[in-house]
A and B are shown apart, each in its own frame.
Chain A
Amino acid sequence: MTSRLGLWLVLVITTAIYAPVFTAPFVYEDANWTADLAPSHRPARFAVPGRGLTQWTYQVQSDVSLRSGTFHGVNVGLHLLAGTALYMVLSALVGGTSAPLAGVAVFLWHPLNSQAVAYVSARADLLVALGVVGAIWGVLHRRTLAGLVALVSGLSMAVLSKEIGLIAFPVVALAWATSRPRVPWRGLTALAVTAAGVGWWLAWYAQWFTWRALIAYSARMATTSGRLDEAALQATAFWRWVRLFVVPVGFTIDPDPWSVPAVWRLVALGALAVVAGGVGAWWLRCRSWAAFGALVVGVSILPRFLWSTGEGMQEHHAYLPMVGVACLVAVLVHRLGPGALEGAL
Chain B
Amino acid sequence: MAGWRLGFLVWVCALAALTAWRTPIWRDEVALWTESAARAPDKPRSAVNLGVLAQQRGDRQEARRQYLIAEALVERGTRRCREREDTWVYTTFNLATLDLIEGRYTDASQRARAILTQFPAFDAARRLERAAEAATP
Contacts and interface: CB of A to CB of B under 8 A. Distances in A.
Interface of A: 13, 16-21, 23-25, 27-28, 72, 102, 105-106, 109-111, 113-114, 118-119, 216-217, 220-225, 248-256, 258-259, 310-311, 333, 336-337, 340-341, 343-344
Interface stretch (B33-41, B60-68, B102-110): B33-41
B21 to A, nearest CB: 8
Given A20-B26, A102-B12, A253-B32, A111 B19 contact: yes
Nearest to B29: A27
B133 interface: no
Nearest to B79: A258
Given A21-B27, A28-B29, A341 B19 contact: no
A64 B24 CA distance: 25
Binding site of B, secondary structure by majority: helix, strand, loop or mixed? helix
A250 B39 contact: yes
B82 A310 contact: yes
B85 interface: yes
Given A311-B83, A336-B1, A114 B19 contact: yes
Interface string B119-133: 101100000000000
A216 B115 CA distance: 14
Interface of B: 1-2, 4-6, 8-9, 12, 15-16, 18-20, 22-24, 26-27, 29, 32-33, 35-36, 39-40, 42-43, 45-46, 49, 78-83, 85, 119, 121-122
Given A111-B19, A253-B33, A254-B45, A340 B12 contact: no
Given A109-B12, A254-B46, A119 B26 contact: yes
Contacts of B80: 223-225, 258, 310
B22 to A, nearest CB: 5
Contact of B5 (A27, A249, A255, A344): A344
Contacts of B119: 216-217
A252 B38 CA distance: 9
A264 to B, nearest CB: 15
B81 A222 contact: yes
Which one of A102, A254, A337, A344 has the highest number of Cβ atoms from chain B below 10 Å of its Cβ?
A254
A212 to B, nearest CB: 13
Contacts of A216: 119, 121-122
B117 to A, nearest CB: 13
A252 B27 contact: no
A109 B19 contact: yes
25 contacts: A17-B20, A18-B23, A25-B27, A27-B26, A28-B32, A105-B12, A111-B19, A113-B19, A119-B26, A216-B122, A221-B82, A252-B35, A253-B33, A254-B33, A254-B45, A255-B40, A256-B39, A256-B40, A258-B42, A258-B80, A259-B40, A259-B42, A259-B43, A310-B83, A343-B2
